[in-house]
Amino acid sequence: MANRIDNAKVAELIQSQIAPPVAPTTTGRPGEFNAILQDRLKLSGHAQTRLQSRNIELSKDEWDRVVGGVDKAAAKGAKESLVMLDQVALVVSVKNRTVITAVDKENLKDNVFTNIDSAVIV
C-alpha cells in the first residue's frame, strides 16, 4: 500500500518557508503602496530608494499591471524577471514577489540587465 500524504503537514512546511509580507511604502505617502498592493508584491529597500530618487510614481492601475505580469511570469516558471511598464522597467524576484530595482526611461539607455531569466511587457 502507498503511504498517505498528509496535506496539512505539507502546508505547514511550506508556510514555514515563506516570509510574511513586508509593508512597503512609497515616496511621501506611507501606506498608499500597501493599500494598493496589499500583500501581492513587496518592495526591497533598494527599489524604494530607486523609485524615490528617480521620481517614479505608479498608479494603482499600473501596479495592478505589474502584479499581473509577475503572475504571468510565475505561471511560466520564471525566477527573476524584467517587467517593462510604459516608461519604467522593474526587476522583480518572482519567487519572492519582491521588486528588486526600478529604472525610468531616461536611465534605460545603455543599461544592461543581468541575472534575469525572463521579460514581461505589460
By three-state DSSP, how is residue 77 classified? coil
Domains and CATH numbers, the chain: 7-121 (3.30.2310)
What phi, psi does 42 have (nearest 5°)? Answer: -115, 160
Cα 113 off chain centre by: 16
pLDDT for the residue numbered 96: 94
Mean pLDDT computed over every residue of the chain: 81
What ranges in the chain are assigned the alpha helix state H?
Answer: 7-17, 32-37, 45-53, 60-75, 105-108
Place of cell 508584491: 41
Q: What is the spatial distance between Cα 94 and Cα 81, in angstroms, rounded to a whole number?
A: 7
Q: From the CA atom positions of the chain, what is the Rg in Å?
A: 17
* Residue pair 53/110 in contact by the 8 Å Cβ criterion: no
Summarised one tens digit per residue, pLDDT across range 68-102 is: 999 999 999 999 999 999 989 999 999 999 999 99
Q: Are 27 and 51 in contact (CB under 8 A)?
A: yes
Predicted confidence (pLDDT) per residue in 4-40, tens digit: 555 665 556 555 554 444 444 444 454 555 555 656 8
